[in-house]
Structure 1
Amino acid sequence: MTDQHTRTAAPLVRGQGPGLLLAHGAGSDIQDSFGPVLDALAKSRTLVGPDYPGSGTTPSAAGPLTLDGLADHIVESSVRAGVHSFAISGFSMGTTVAVRAAIRHPERVTALVLSAGFARPSPRLRLAIDTWRALVESGGDNRTLAAYLSLVVGSVDWLEDRSQDELEEQVRLFSQGLPPGTAQQLKLLNTIDVRADLPRIRVPVLVVSPHGDLLTTPVHSRELAAGIPGARLVSVDSGHAIAAERPGPWAALITEFLDAVGH
């Protein structure tokens, strides 16, 4: 593994049963991407949740991030935690990390769940990423950035159902929880293209498409599912932030799929 990933914080480890490795989104961490579903998943699985460099308590990388580096990082974190074989649940950018991990470590990866993901950023997604990154790198008002993120990760219906106080609280929490490695992660995000990896996947795959996702819109999930032999595509009534909007249904989809395929 390269030097940029050697200083690694211990991952979250929780539960008992077959291994389930978690891969979080860009500008996020394990708690932010998966927090509300961790307890439900840990009832039947041993969860391993490493944070990327610059997220959680993992130090930022000294150089540019690479998709291969992140894939190796999460796999090696699980092995160091004593979980040597596992399914991977990837969220948002974590779906591409999961795909690359399955290609680079086929002897360890038993199944994939790819939620709110993509194979490559569409022009519209690149525009959203560029705006996000510009707000991060400007060093300006964190509230403006947090408000922008609230608008793109929440579904229209979910946001419309929030009170003014609830929205203000979400913006406040977003503004306080921006990982220091966000700019590095977003720079990588704009370069990702795993389309060539998809036909090479040989494990069971579930693609979870939030039909109200304004960031990685459902067209991205359809491209993922179409490119992977035998992949199953399901929809969930949610925006991009599935853990916040629909934690129960999301945890059930993941658990039921892994139970059905024997992982």
Structure 2
Amino acid sequence: MPTIDVNGTPVHYTVQGSGPALLFVHGTGGDGEAQFGHIREHFSDRYTVVTPDCSGSGRTPLHADELSLDELVEQVVGTARAVTDGPFDIVGFSLGAVVAAAAAARHPELVRRLVVINGWARNDDPRQQLAVDLWRRLPDIDGEAFAAYSALLIFSPAFLAGFGGDGVKATVAGIKAEAHTLRQIELDHRVDISDRLPAITAPTLVIGSTRDALIPVEHAREIHAAVAGSEYAELESGHMVIFEKTAEVVELLGGFLDRD
């Protein structure tokens, strides 16, 4: 796995395929392989697909007690510059969607196309503040409760029910309150890119999920309204739409990214 130094942090990333550069940016609690390994194979026949691991995720170390959005933006952009001298497409999911949007706003000359999946512009909604605050506090109280609550937040009822009783138990058992996840949740709570969105000039596709209990679909609609000329799509899914509706996500991405 190649590494690029970004402001003293060795950022690990994977590269697959050839063609124009396409970055996938993971969300809270994940890494590039875990969240996009099953999706990048659909694009590596025509793109150079890059999946960075942001601070604390995958093989990239967590070097500070607090994450900043700008730090993650520079890690993602630094990774892109390591593989291409030209503009690149960027797809972000969850916190990665926030990072991708912020990168497109800061570096409009570098981003060719932007896709925002289940992202949000700000965390000033009382219901979301309550949900994210509890999500962060639970690991200090009860790790098993954190895992169960996480499953309820990120999966739709229908998708979770499809696991069956034993499957749900196994899924919950696999959710851990690791240090990087907690730092990312804290950043989730602080995020506010609402003043940056008007600076995005790249063609943009915003995808929201109608059964998302973590980031309600209204947040995706707000981003769509704030980014001039953006396109919008909704899927009936929980937050983890990249797993619940993989085929539909791939179809939406291909239809948008592959345009001349």
TM-score above 0.5, yes or no: yes
Instruction: For residue 162 of structure 1, report the CA deviation from its aligned partner.
Output: 2.3
Does the 8 Å CA contact 1:56/1:179 hold for their aligned counterparts? no
User: For residues 40-79 of structure 1, what are the alpha-carbon distances to aligned partners after superposition, in whole Å with 9 as ceiling and x for unaligned?
Assistant: 1323321111111111111102242211111111110121
Larger relative contact order (Cα-Cα within 8 Å, sequence gap ≥ 6): 1
Are 2:246 and 1:221 equivalent residues in the alignment? no
SS at match of 1:129: helix
Does the 8 Å CA contact 1:128/1:215 hold for their aligned counterparts? yes
Does the 8 Å CA contact 1:4/1:61 hold for their aligned counterparts? no
SS at match of 1:248: helix
Are 2:138 and 1:131 equivalent residues in the alignment? no
Instruction: For residue 27 of structure 1, report the CA deviation from its aligned partner.
Output: 2.3
For 2:230, the equivalent position in structure 1 comes to 231
Q: 1:167 to 1:63 in 2, by over 3 A?
A: closer
SS at match of 2:116: strand
* Larger displacement relative to structure 2 (245-254 or 26-35): 26-35
Q: Map 1:181-196 onto structure 2 (within 5 A).
A: 181-196=180-195
For 2:145, the equivalent position in structure 1 comes to 144
Does the 8 Å CA contact 1:55/1:179 hold for their aligned counterparts? no
SS at match of 1:9: strand
Are 2:15 and 1:13 equivalent residues in the alignment? yes
Structure 2: how far apart are the matches of 1:173 and 1:9? Answer: 25
Instruction: For residue 81 of structure 1, report the CA deviation from its aligned partner.
Output: 3.3
More strand as a share of residues = 2
Structure 1: how far apart are the matches of 2:220 and 2:95? Answer: 12
* Larger displacement relative to structure 2 (111-120 or 99-108): 99-108
For 2:49, the equivalent position in structure 1 comes to 47
Q: 1:9 to 1:67 in 2, by over 3 A?
A: closer
For 1:156, the equivalent position in structure 2 comes to 157
Which letter does structure 2 place at the counterpart of 1:125?
Answer: Q
* Larger displacement relative to structure 2 (4-13 or 223-232): 4-13
Structure 2: how far apart are the matches of 1:128 and 1:5? Answer: 33
User: For residues 104-125 of structure 1, what are the alpha-carbon distances to aligned partners after superposition, in whole Å with 9 as ceiling and x for unaligned?
Assistant: 2222111110001111122222
User: For residues 74-101 of structure 1, what are the alpha-carbon distances to aligned partners after superposition, in whole Å with 9 as ceiling and x for unaligned?
Assistant: 1101212346421110111111111111
Structure 2: how far apart are the matches of 1:203 and 1:7? Answer: 28
Structure 2: how far apart are the matches of 1:179 and 1:75? Answer: 25
Unaligned runs of 5+ in 1: none
For 1:71, the equivalent position in structure 2 comes to 73
User: For residues 9-45 of structure 1, what are the alpha-carbon distances to aligned partners after superposition, in whole Å with 9 as ceiling and x for unaligned?
Assistant: 3201112222111221122222333233121132332
Q: 1:89 aligns with which of 88, 91, 114?
A: 91
SS at match of 2:67: coil
Which letter does structure 1 place at the counterpart of 2:158?
Answer: D
Instruction: For residue 247 of structure 1, report the CA deviation from its aligned partner.
Output: 0.9
Q: Give the TM-score of the pair, scaled to structure 1.
A: 0.90
CA-based RMSD: 1.9
For 1:119, the equivalent position in structure 2 comes to 121
User: For residues 180-233 of structure 1, what are the alpha-carbon distances to aligned partners after superposition, in whole Å with 9 as ceiling and x for unaligned?
Assistant: 312221222211111111111111000011111111111001100000001111
Q: 1:32 to 1:148 in 2, by over 3 A?
A: farther
SS at match of 1:41: coil
**Percentage identity across paired residues of the two chains:** 35
